[in-house]
Structure 1
Amino acid sequence: MVFRQDYLYWKTIEQLVVVHQFRIVQISQNQSEVWLESAKKKGPSLIRLLRYDLDWGNWMKRDMEDTARKVDTVRKKQYKRNLDALNVYVSTYPPVDEWSDRVSEPLVIGSKGQTNLQTVVVHSENVQTTLQSLSALLQVDLAIETEGFLYDYSVIESLKNRVIGVTNQRVKQEKDIFTYGKPYFTYVFIFIQVIMFALLELKGGSTDTENLIAFGAKENFLILQGEWWRFFAPIVLHIGMFHLLMNTMALYFLGTAVERIYGRYRFLLIYLLAGFAGTLASFVFSPSVSAGASGAIFGCFGALLFFGVVHPSLFFRTMGSNVLIVIAINLMIGFIVPVVDNAGHIGGLVGGFIASAVVHLPRQKRYMKRLAALVLTLVLTIGMLYLGFKVQPASGDPRYAVTIAKDHIEAGEINEAYQVLTEVNDKDLQAEYYFYLSYTEFELGKLEEAKKHLEIVTSKLPDLHEGHYNLALVYTELKEYDKAKSSIEQAISLDPDNDDYHSVLEEINDLSEGSE
C-alpha cells in the first residue's frame, strides 16, 4: 500500500512535469515535498505535493495555514495581485479525525482574498475520484494507471530519475537562452560614444549647442532640410560627462544582457532601429536639440519586454520585476524633469520591442509573426515620418515657425520670415517667438508692433541683453530717448564688454541732447 501511494505521488509529478510542462520550483532534501509552477493561464499557478501519511486533522490544518502563508509570500515577491495555489497531500490513509470540512473550500489569505489555497487529499480510498478532481483543477489529463499495477521500488526510482533528468535538461536549456551570444557590439558602441565625447570636448565642449549640432545632434529644421543621418548620429553623442557616464553604465548592463540573449547581429539591428525610433519620436514631438543613447538603451528595455512576452515565466523568475520597475522610474523622471526627452525614451522603448519582434529570439522561426511585426514597423515609421515632415511644419506650431523664420532671416528674406511668424495661432507663445517677430517688424518699419513684442520679451527674459538692445533701437526710432537710454544701459549691464552697445548709448545721448 505504501509503494502504491509513493507511485501515485511520483507518477503525478512525472505527468505534470514531463507531459504537461510544469516546472519544479523546489524539491525537499528527502524528496517528499515538491513545489511546481504552472504556465497555464487557467488554474492554480503554484502546486505543492506532499507525500506524507496523515494522522490528525489538526496537523493538516496547521500545515495548510503555513503553506498558504508561503504562497502569499511568493505572491508579494512576484508583485501579483492574486495567486491561486493547489496543495496536494498523498497519504496512505486519511486523517483519523474529522478533516473533510477543512478542504471543502479554499483557504483564503489577505483582506481582499489575494491568495487562495485549494487542498486535495489523495489516499487509498479515493484515488480515482481525486485524480479526476486534480485533472479538472489543473486543466490537464492525468493518465495514471492505478489498478493491476506492480508498485515496486524500481518503478518509483525510474519515475524519480525521469523527472529529475527532464528538470535538469530544462534548467540547462534556460541557461543556454541567456548565453546564446557573446557581447561584442555593446563594447563597440561604448567605445564609439566615448571617442565622440572626447572629440566634442576637444572641438568646443559637449554642452555647446552649436558644437553638438555640428557633430550631428538631432535638430528638427536641419532634418527637414534633408539631413536624414541625424536620425542616427545622436545615438553616439552625449551632453556632459554625467550624461555619458549614466548612459555608458546603462548600455554596459543592458546591452550585454540583450546581446547574450539575442546574439550580436540581432542586437545590432535592435539597437540601431530603437535609436532611430527614439530620434524619430523626438523629431515629431520635441523641438529641442537632443543627443544621447537613451532611445537606443530604452530599446534594450523593449527587447527584454519582448523576451518576457515569449518567455513570461522565465522573465519574471529572473529579471522581470526589476525591468518593469526601472522602466517605470525612468519614464516617471522623464515626465517630471523638463530637460529629459521622454518622447525619445518612449519611441526607443516601442522601437526596441517591435524590432525584437521582427528579428525574434534565436532558434525561433515564427515567420508570419515576424512579417506582421515588419509590416507594423513600416506603417509606424511611414506615419511618423509623414507627421514630422508634412503635418508638423504646416501646423502653425511656433516651434517650427521660429526655426523656419530664422532660416529666412539669415537669407535676408524678411517678408517671408514675417509671414511665417504671423501665421502662428498659438495663444501661449514663448519669448523666442516674440523676439524674432519683433525683429522682422522692426526691419519692415512696424515699430509700434515691434515695441510691444520686445517689451514682452524683456519682461519674460530680463537677462537677455539682445532683447534690451533691440528695444533700445526701437525706442530710438520712435524718439522715446529716455526709454531708449534705460534699455541700452540695461543691455550694457548684462554685457559690459559689447562695444556696439556703448556706441548706441553715445548715439542716444547725442540724439537726446539735440532734441532738447
Structure 2
Amino acid sequence: MFKQDYVYWKMIERLQLEGGYRILQLSKSNNEIWLEGTQKNKPRIIRILRHDLDWSNWMQRDMEITAGRLEQLRKRLFARKLEALNIYITTYPPVDDWKYRLDSPLVAGTKGLTTLHTVLIDSDQKDTGLQEVSKFVHTEFDLDDSIYIDVETIETIKHEVITVANKRISSEKEIFQNGKPFFTYILIAIQLIMFAVLELHGGSTNTETLLKYGAKENFRILNGEWWRFFTPMILHIGFIHLLMNTFALYYLGAEVERLYGKLRFLLIYVFAGFVGSLASFVFNANISAGASGAIFGCFGALLFFGTAYPSLFFRTMGPNVIGIIIINLVLGFMIPGIDNSGHIGGLVGGFLAASIVHLPKRKEFAKRLGGLVVTIATVGALFYVGYVVQPHSENPQFVVQTAQEFIQSNEFQKAYDMLKTAEEKGADAPEVYFYLSYTEIKLGKFEEARDHLKIVTIKAPDISEAHYNLALVYVQLQEFVNAKKAADQAIKLDPENENYKELIKEINAMENSSL
C-alpha cells in the first residue's frame, strides 16, 4: 500500500515541478487530486485517484461522473475543447475484465468537446502505467524502487507538494495586490463634484449646460475643441446615470487599480475614456457624456489580464467579466439612447492601454511595443475617419447635427446649403427634410418648406412639430383650411401643447376675418 501511495504523491510532485501543473483541488482525504496545466500538447486537466479498485463497473461509473464534471468545468473556463487525463492508482486491478473500458477515451457533452483518457497503474504493471502517463504529459516518472518507503517518506513528499502549491497560491495573490485603490476614489470625487456643478448651473440633463462644461459634440470638436475627447468622462446626464457609473467605478476601478497599480490604472482609465469619446465622435453624431467609456476600459484591462494569466483569469473573475460585458453590449444595442460606440471604443482603448503599460513585474518589451504600434494605428484610423472622411460624408445624422449648430448660431443660409446638398445627393431621412424646411421658413421659402414638411408628415407622421410648422407655412400661404387640418393633427399628437391651441384660435380668427 505504501508503494502505491508513494507513486501517487511522487507523480503529483513531478507534475508540479517538471510538468507545469498546479493543484486545482485536493480532497479532504488526500486520495483524489485535480491538476491544471496550460502548456500545449498536454492534457489541460489531470485527475488522479488513489483508490483500490474491486470491480470494473465501479470504475466505469466513476469515469462517466468525472467526464461530466469536466464538461461543466470546460464551460466555466470558456474552453473550446478540453482534453483531460484520468489516472487510477490501485494496489490490484479490478477482478473482472476492465482493459476494454480504457481502449477508447470517454467523450462528454452534446458536441463531444470534452475528451477523457484513462490510465490504470497497479503494483504489478507500475512501469507500464507510468510510461503511458509519460506519453500524455511528456514528463518522465523514473521512480526509485530501491528506497525504503514508510509513512515518514510519504509525508515528506506530501509536505513538499503542499508547500509548492501554497507558494503558487501566495504568488497568485500577490498579482492582485499591486496597490490599494487611490485614483479610483479621486475620480469618483471628481464625478460627484462635477455633477453638483451641473445641477447648480442649469441641470445635468440640460443640453446647454452639458455643452458648456464639456460634453462630446462633434461639430465643436471639428472646430478645434479637442478637450471634449476627455471632459465627457467626468460628466453625467441625470442622477441614475451618475449612480450606475459611480458604483461601477467603485468596484471595477478598484479591482483594476489593485491589479495594475495606481499610475498604470490612471493611464488606462484616461486613455480608455479618450478612445471611447473618439469612437463616439466617429460613429455617433449625438451629444454624449459619461464615464461609461472609461469604465468599459477597465473591462478591457481585465480582458488583457486574461491574456497574460488565462488560467487564473477564468478561475477567478473571467466568466463574470465576460458575461457582464456581453450583457451590457447587448443592452446597448437594444435600448435607444445608449452610446454603444463609446462603450466599444472604451473597451478596446482599455485593452490597448493595458497592452502598452502591461502588468507590474511583466516587462515583455516586444509585446508592449506591438501593443503601441496597434494603438497608434487604431487611434490614427479613427482620427482620419473623424476629421477627414466624416465632414465630407452624406451621413444624415452628421448633416443634421452640423445643420443644428448652424441654426443655433443663426447661420440659416449655411444650414440650408448643407441640407439642400444632402437632399440632392440622395439623403432621404425625415430629420433632413424637417430641418431643411425650418431653414426655408427662416429664409422665406414657404412653398419649398411646405413641400418638404409634407414629406416629413408622411415619413414620420408622429412628429407633432412637423404638423405645427406645416400649419404655420399654410398660414403664410393664406391656405387656412389646410392650416387648420395641420394644426388639428398637431393637437391630436400633443393635446396639452399651448402653442398648438393658440395657433388654432389664430387660424379661426383669420378665417372669420377673411369672410
TM-score when normalising by structure 2: 0.90
Query: 1:451-462 counterparts in 2 under 5 A?
Result: 451-457=450-456, 460=460
Q: Which residue of 2 aligns with 1:127?
A: 126
Q: Is 1:329 aligned to 2:322, yes or no?
A: no
- One of 220, 223, 226 as aligned partner of 2:224: 226
- One of 282, 289, 292 as aligned partner of 1:284: 282
Please say if residues 85 and 118 of structure 1, whose CA atoms lie closer than 8 Å, have aligned partners that are also in contact: yes
Give unpaired runs (5+ residues) of structure 1.
none
Going from structure 1 to structure 2, the CA distance change for 1:164 and 1:508 (only over 3 Å counts) comes to same
| C-alpha distance in 2 between matches for 1:506 and 1:322 | 62
CA shift at 1:148, angstroms? Answer: 4.2
Q: Is 1:404 aligned to 2:402, yes or no?
A: yes
Letter in structure 2 aligned against 1:377: T
Please say if residues 485 and 509 of structure 1, whose CA atoms lie closer than 8 Å, have aligned partners that are also in contact: no
Letter in structure 1 aligned against 2:240: F
Q: Which residue of 2 aligns with 1:10?
A: 9
Going from structure 1 to structure 2, the CA distance change for 1:487 and 1:103 (only over 3 Å counts) comes to closer
Please say if residues 238 and 293 of structure 1, whose CA atoms lie closer than 8 Å, have aligned partners that are also in contact: yes
Q: Which residue of 2 aligns with 1:36?
A: 35
CA shift at 1:210, angstroms? Answer: 1.4
Please say if residues 49 and 90 of structure 1, whose CA atoms lie closer than 8 Å, have aligned partners that are also in contact: yes
Going from structure 1 to structure 2, the CA distance change for 1:443 and 1:107 (only over 3 Å counts) comes to closer
SS in 1 for 2:142: coil
Q: Is 1:178 aligned to 2:176, yes or no?
A: yes
Q: Is 1:496 aligned to 2:495, yes or no?
A: no
| C-alpha distance in 2 between matches for 1:29 and 1:447 | 87
| C-alpha distance in 2 between matches for 1:251 and 1:411 | 38
Q: Which residue of 1 aligns with 2:449?
A: 450
Deviates more, 1:262-271 or 1:196-205: 196-205
Q: Which residue of 2 aligns with 1:83?
A: 82
Letter in structure 2 aligned against 1:238: H
Deviates more, 1:396-405 or 1:289-298: 396-405
Please say if residues 49 and 87 of structure 2, whose CA atoms lie closer than 8 Å, have aligned partners that are also in contact: yes
Please say if residues 451 and 474 of structure 1, whose CA atoms lie closer than 8 Å, have aligned partners that are also in contact: yes
Letter in structure 1 aligned against 2:415: A
Please say if residues 449 and 473 of structure 2, whose CA atoms lie closer than 8 Å, have aligned partners that are also in contact: yes
| C-alpha distance in 2 between matches for 1:490 and 1:109 | 64
| C-alpha distance in 2 between matches for 1:105 and 1:143 | 24
| C-alpha distance in 1 between matches for 2:351 and 2:271 | 10
Letter in structure 2 aligned against 1:184: F
Query: 1:382-401 counterparts in 2 under 5 A?
Result: 382-401=380-399
CA shift at 1:512, angstroms? Answer: 7.4
Deviates more, 1:207-216 or 1:424-433: 424-433
CA shift at 1:105, angstroms? Answer: 1.6
CA shift at 1:77, angstroms? Answer: 4.3
Please say if residues 18 and 163 of structure 1, whose CA atoms lie closer than 8 Å, have aligned partners that are also in contact: no
Please say if residues 134 and 141 of structure 2, whose CA atoms lie closer than 8 Å, have aligned partners that are also in contact: no
Cα offsets for 1:43-94 (capped at 9, x unmatched): 3222111223334334433433343343344345445554332211222333
Letter in structure 2 aligned against 1:130: G
| C-alpha distance in 1 between matches for 2:339 and 2:327 | 14
Q: Which residue of 1 aligns with 2:188?
A: 190
Please say if residues 483 and 507 of structure 2, whose CA atoms lie closer than 8 Å, have aligned partners that are also in contact: no
Cα offsets for 1:438-457 (capped at 9, x unmatched): 23334555432111112334
Query: 1:36-115 counterparts in 2 under 5 A?
Result: 36-78=35-77, 80=79, 82-115=81-114
| C-alpha distance in 2 between matches for 1:287 and 1:497 | 30
Going from structure 1 to structure 2, the CA distance change for 1:49 and 1:225 (only over 3 Å counts) comes to same
Letter in structure 1 aligned against 2:62: D
Give unpaired runs (5+ residues) of structure 2.
none
SS in 1 for 2:41: coil
Cα offsets for 1:361-413 (capped at 9, x unmatched): 11100111111111211111111011111111101222222333344445554
Cα offsets for 1:139-160 (capped at 9, x unmatched): x222423454444554433322
Please say if residues 296 and 348 of structure 1, whose CA atoms lie closer than 8 Å, have aligned partners that are also in contact: yes
Q: Which residue of 1 aligns with 2:160?
A: 162
Q: Which residue of 1 aligns with 2:414?
A: 416
| C-alpha distance in 2 between matches for 1:410 and 1:83 | 61
Going from structure 1 to structure 2, the CA distance change for 1:458 and 1:204 (only over 3 Å counts) comes to farther
Deviates more, 1:333-342 or 1:390-399: 390-399
Q: Is 1:440 aligned to 2:450, yes or no?
A: no
- One of 334, 356, 359 as aligned partner of 1:358: 356
| C-alpha distance in 1 between matches for 2:462 and 2:47 | 71
CA shift at 1:248, angstroms? Answer: 1.1
CA shift at 1:203, angstroms? Answer: 1.3
Deviates more, 1:70-79 or 1:173-182: 70-79
Please say if residues 394 and 427 of structure 2, whose CA atoms lie closer than 8 Å, have aligned partners that are also in contact: no
Letter in structure 1 aligned against 2:342: G
SS in 2 for 1:424: helix
Please say if residues 357 and 369 of structure 1, whose CA atoms lie closer than 8 Å, have aligned partners that are also in contact: yes
Going from structure 1 to structure 2, the CA distance change for 1:82 and 1:372 (only over 3 Å counts) comes to closer
> RMSD of aligned C-alpha atoms?
2.8
Q: Which residue of 1 aligns with 2:312?
A: 314
Alignment coverage as a number of residue pairs: 510
CA shift at 1:480, angstroms? Answer: 2.1
